[in-house]
Amino acid sequence: MNKFFLTLMTEAAAPTLGFAELIPTLAMVVGMIAIFYFMLIRPQRKKDKAVKDMLAALKPGDRICTIGGIYGTIASIKDDTITLYVGAQKFQMVVARWAIRSVEDAPLVENESEALV
**Higher-confidence position of 31 and 112:** 31
Q: How confident is the model at residue 3 (pLDDT cuts 50, 70, 90)?
A: low
Per-residue pLDDT tens digits for 59-88: 999 999 999 999 999 999 998 999 999 998
Predicted pLDDT at 113: 43
- Domain-by-domain residue ranges, the chain? 2-55, 60-108
Distances (CA, A) of 68 to 13, 50, 95, 100, 101: 62, 20, 10, 9, 9
Question: Do 100 and 64 contact (CB within 8 A), yes or no?
Answer: yes
CB hemisphere CA count around 100 (13 angstroms): 30
- What is the model's pTM? 0.63
Class (C level, CATH) for 60-108: mainly beta
